[in-house]
Amino acid sequence: MKGMESLPTTFTAAEAHQIGIHPRDLYRWRDTGQTLELSRGVFRQADAPTPTYPDFLAVAHRAPRAIICLISAASVWDLTDELPAAVTIAVPRGTRPPQITFPPVEVSRFDPERFDLGLTHLDAAPGELVRIYSAARTVVDLMRLRHRIGEPLALGALRRYLSQRDADRSELTELARALDVLGPLRSALDVLEAA
């Protein structure tokens, strides 16, 4: 029988089952502190380095197609001081959203045709990547959903993005055009530049 050394640092109960680990052993490891349960069915070896974003790691294992977005992504890219109450993720419209109770999750459904625009990756733990939208895509999404998220948050994120050394206005404009929010973005830029 294989043991924990046969598993990645963060793994699911299904992955453990695939290599022949009985659920009884898996939960014994959890109960004795050899593993930590990040979310239902998602475990991390207790002696592994502490993850920077454990909630993102848990959600990525529960919903591998999802992408960290909106306020969660804005907090990563230092576009807001607001701490999200839940991990905000996007899934393609027309797919079934994941049912995750812990960590708390807010799901947005985005157009499947443009779902991967601005996709990048973030080290949630050493060597463990999660899918996240870039800073520019995050700003554009906040502008696009400003009626739901709040205009002050969207404008604040835009202002902070533009003040960053690596801000790319052309990427911002291209994404805004592709996501049908170029007009509102240009208006916001005019307001910020006039202030």
Who contacts 36 (Cβ-Cβ below 8 Å, separation ≥6)? 30, 43, 44, 46
Taking 50 as the threshold, does the pLDDT of residue 7 lie above it?
yes
Indicate the average pLDDT of the chain.
91
Q: Which of 129, 125, 133 lies closest to 53 in space, CA to CA?
A: 125
**Cα(115)–Cα(78) distance, integer angstroms:** 22
- Which tens digit of pLDDT belongs to each residue from 176-185? 999 999 988 8
- Which tens digit of pLDDT belongs to each residue from 88-143? 999 999 998 888 889 999 999 999 999 999 999 999 999 999 999 999 999 999 99
Structure tokens at 55: 């909630």
Four-CA torsion 150, 151, 152, 155, nearest 10 degrees: 130
